[in-house]
Amino acid sequence: MSDEYILGISAYYHDSAACLLKNGEVFAAVQEERFSRKKHDSRFPKSAIEFCLAEAQITVDDLTNVVFYDKPLVKFERLLETYIAYAPKGLISFFSAMPVWLKEKLFLKSTLQKELKSLSPRNTFPELLFTEHHQAHAASTFFVSPFEESVVLCLDGVGEWATTSAWIGKENKLTPLWEIDFPHSIGLLYSAFTYYTGFKVNSGEYKVMGLAPYGEPKYVNKIYENLLDLKEDGSFRLNMDYFNFAAGLTMTNDKFHAIFGGPPRRSESTLTQKEMDLARSIQEVTEEVMLRLAKSARKETGIRNLCLSGGVALNCVANGKILKAGLFDEIFIQPAAGDAGGALGAALSAHYEYKKHPRTVQKIDAMKGSYLGPSFSNDSIKKILDKLGANYQELPNEQLEDQLARILANGNVVGYFQGRMEFGPRALGGRSILGDPRNQKMQSIMNLKIKYRESFRPFAPAVLSEKVSEYFDIQTKSPYMLFVADILPFHRIDMTEEQKKLFGIEKLNVPRSSLPAITHVDYSARIQTVHAETNPRFHSLLSKFNQLTGCPVIVNTSFNVRGEPIVSSPEDAYRCFMRTEIDFLVLENFLLNKKDQTPVEEEDSWKKEFELD
């Protein structure tokens, strides 16, 4: 029997990606931005598809199906209905959106066929299928989860019509329960505050989440009184008098600005206490909505497992609150929960729901630790380094790890590139920058001298899975860095009375625990548990660091500078290493010391290349 290959695609909105299934197994998955080096690239994922096909050593002609992650005609219907409902207000937005729709998106089927044909040696294309957007979100998390049965909640900006939906996943089926439709969207409400606080929509939402602990929830009542009608069961409606996203080109309008005391903050201008308080307020409202929805889903179905998906499911603080509430036995969130994961969900939906294949549940989950992208052999890396004129040492695994543990313990920052690249927005030890969490200066060094980003941004700890409950208030796996939990009291440093009076960003320089570099100002951390089964090399490095220092935790942040997608190739990694103040670079078994390299270009050249996020 020949192998069945299904290719899932997400494209043309934001975060385009491709995912290949081989006989139902997640074989390869990657975002287009990693190849194009354009963050959140939304174009047809040509390079991502080429990688997936090359990985399986097949061509487009060997694919059984290609599946797209939403239904463009239904989305077009929603746009037209919205413009008619808001006429004549929406005319400018209508005229700016329509040329793209009429040229590309409305005739998406023929656009996709043309693109696929151009990749085919025989100039043909496989059968095309289309899932609904939220169906793809639900499939992307449930079908790879370790559950036979689960409630599934999908929360995002908007798909075709749905913005929030609930499903029951059982074996190889997803049954829809209910949905909340556009324009009522918790994702778009959060994006409105992202816009108003001066960050980029569909990119800066995680900054709002990181900023929230510096503020007070002063605006919560204002949000409930004016913007959001939230019911006990978690269902909600937005008061559209305050928003501009349905009809205009911005998220908020003058009425919104009036109740919050002025126009939106200008991008890159100084952050004030007001933005911190706004961030805290919308974060608390979002947590309350998600918590109520989760309670209702548990009560309505009696099912003891929960899967989350959609862009809002990347809000790891809210996820942590649901986890802590103890509503479910287990919670699973697929690592590429946003639109990129739609490619995975589209392929899985076709495999299980359309073709009705039986499903075998994996004990951990079916995502292979999310290590689904490109990898590079030592031979290919050596050729690249020689071509670049780099100075390096090649070391066997054990020796390299011993040396790395010492390098980290001495306060150095390490660019770490090994194995397959991660699928989704988080670096999980495949394409990471590492540091010592005990070092009080590490957060500011990494933020300002390496990532070139805002000083308030917290860093995440990677921790040995078997040691996580010795440091953090969490009893579950968190392999994809999608839960925030508190540092245990034993490791905390209590604040003095003087320090307790500090406001906003002044709180930043007060060490909160014995691991100051990964402890946020509210004693929380976004946790990655590292497992020997899915990333043996990273697990081994953490074990060596633990043996040397007695600390099983390392600072882990994504290998990139601000505005740049995570590095994909050895060339990307070397370029980032040379442009920043990273001290050492590891590329598989090669170790490079910055002091041994010939300087290549001025350090801030990245600013000309990458648009700030």
Percent of the chain at pLDDT exceeding 90: 77
Q: Which helix (H) or strand (E) holds 117?
A: helix 108-119
Nearest to 424, CA basis, from 206, 611, 222, 163: 206
Residue 602, pLDDT score: 57
Euclidean distance between CA atoms 48 and 66, whole angstroms = 14
Does pLDDT of 408 surpass 90? yes
Does pLDDT of 278 surpass 90? yes
Percent of the chain at pLDDT exceeding 70: 92
Residue 540, pLDDT score: 98
CB atoms within 10 A of CB 224: 14
Average pLDDT of the residues in 186-196: 95
93: confidence class by pLDDT, cuts 50, 70, 90 = low
Decide if 416 contacts 400 (C-beta within 8 A): no
Residue 259, pLDDT score: 96
pLDDT digits (tens, 9 = 90+) for 30-46: 999 999 999 999 999 99
Euclidean distance between CA atoms 91 and 89, whole angstroms = 6
CB environment 429-443: b (16+ within 10 A), e (fewer)? bbbbbbbbbbbeebb
Euclidean distance between CA atoms 470 and 72, whole angstroms = 49
Average pLDDT of the residues in 492-505: 79
Does pLDDT of 523 surpass 60? yes
Residue that has been written with the tokens 């505050």 in this structure? 193
Does pLDDT of 198 surpass 70? yes
Mean pLDDT of the chain: 92
Does pLDDT of 80 surpass 80? no
Does pLDDT of 608 surpass 90? no
Cα dihedral: 24, 328, 158, 69 (round 10): 0
pLDDT digits (tens, 9 = 90+) for 563-607: 999 999 999 999 999 999 999 999 999 999 999 999 876 555 656
CB atoms within 10 A of CB 92: 12
355 vs 159 pLDDT, higher one? 355
Residue 603, pLDDT score: 56
Residue 1, pLDDT score: 63
Decide if 425 contacts 336 (C-beta within 8 A): yes
Does pLDDT of 246 surpass 80? no
Does pLDDT of 549 surpass 90? yes
The SS3 call for residue 159 is coil
pLDDT digits (tens, 9 = 90+) for 337-376: 999 999 999 999 999 999 999 999 998 899 999 999 999 9
441: confidence class by pLDDT, cuts 50, 70, 90 = confident
Does pLDDT of 496 surpass 90? no
The values of phi and psi at residue 526, to 5°, are -90, 110
Nearest to 46, CA basis, from 105, 140, 114: 114
Lowest mean pLDDT among 117-121, 336-340, 422-426, 500-504: 500-504
Residue 374, pLDDT score: 98
CB environment 129-152: b (16+ within 10 A), e (fewer)? bbbbbbbbbbbbbbbbbebeebbb
Residue 225, pLDDT score: 97
Nearest to 176, CA basis, from 285, 300, 273: 300
Tokens representing 458 are 């917290």
Tokens representing 365 are 């989950």
Does pLDDT of 284 surpass 80? yes
Residue 163, pLDDT score: 92
